[in-house]
Copies of this chain bind each other. A is one copy, B any other.
């Protein structure tokens, strides 16, 4: 097993929430694969914490829909059928669109604009020849800044619960990271210009293109 930054035992004992984020990020970079079982003892060793903390983390992941727990059988990373993936993206389209629109509307009166500008610039800078790890990190920062700028607590809360992570892991969206990065940059720029209509349109189109990708899968499989 490689000793990535996620699994290094040099890192400080992460709390349950920290493990949740680590596992989700592990999904996105391909360290875990959907369907895989997550054994408590294994996670204890990996993160250097007791079973209690691991159980807490698994409970949280279950609520987020990332793992499914069956009694006396433990936890496994969920898999989404192509149809479920399309469902997920339909909802994502709405929420992402609302976030972009709200953010563009509030860009003038916010200190968060700077954060979004930085995240957008970072994505643009990395655009060519970026490692999966770098892309995942930059994208997370972008979405985080976007949610902060939109300044809608419930929206931030829900965006964290959409199961896009599973999709990205399961259907190899990582290959398309170049295209995705440039599309996100376009959205970021429209937001920074304070153009709600265009920001919303571009973000929804981005998600729509993902849906098309999945529809291909549906035919193929």
Cβ–Cβ contact B163 & A154, under 8 A: yes
Cβ–Cβ contact A16 & B59, under 8 A: yes
| Given pairs A60-B63, A92-B154, 10 additional interface contacts (CB within 8 A) | A59-B60, A60-B60, A63-B63, A65-B157, A87-B153, A90-B154, A90-B155, A91-B95, A91-B98, A91-B154
Q: Decide yes or no whether A195 CB sits under 8 A from chain B.
A: no
Interface positions of A from 38 to 93, Cβ below 8 Å from B = 52, 55-56, 59-60, 62-65, 71, 84, 87-88, 90-92
Cβ–Cβ contact B154 & A88, under 8 A: yes
B-chain residues with CB within 8 Å of residue A15 when the two chains form the complex? 71
Most buried by B among A52, A84, A98, A154: A154
**Option from B62, B155, B162 in Cβ contact (under 8 Å) with A87:** B155
Nearest B residue to A52 by beta-carbon distance?
B55
List residues of chain A with CB under 8 Å of any chain B CB.
15-16, 52, 55-56, 59-60, 62-65, 71, 84, 87-88, 90-92, 94-95, 98, 152-155, 157-158, 161-163
Nearest B residue to A62 by beta-carbon distance?
B60
In whole angstroms, what is the CA distance A130 to B99 when docked?
39
B-chain residues with CB within 8 Å of residue A90 when the two chains form the complex? 98, 152, 154-155
Closest chain B CB from A84 CB (angstroms): 5
Cβ–Cβ contact B63 & A152, under 8 A: no
B-chain residues with CB within 8 Å of residue A91 when the two chains form the complex? 95, 98, 152, 154-155, 158
B-chain residues with CB within 8 Å of residue A59 when the two chains form the complex? 16, 56, 59-60, 63
In whole angstroms, what is the CA distance A108 to B60 when docked?
37
In whole angstroms, what is the CA distance A35 to B158 when docked?
21
Closest chain B CB from A61 CB (angstroms): 9
In whole angstroms, what is the CA distance A195 to B100 when docked?
29
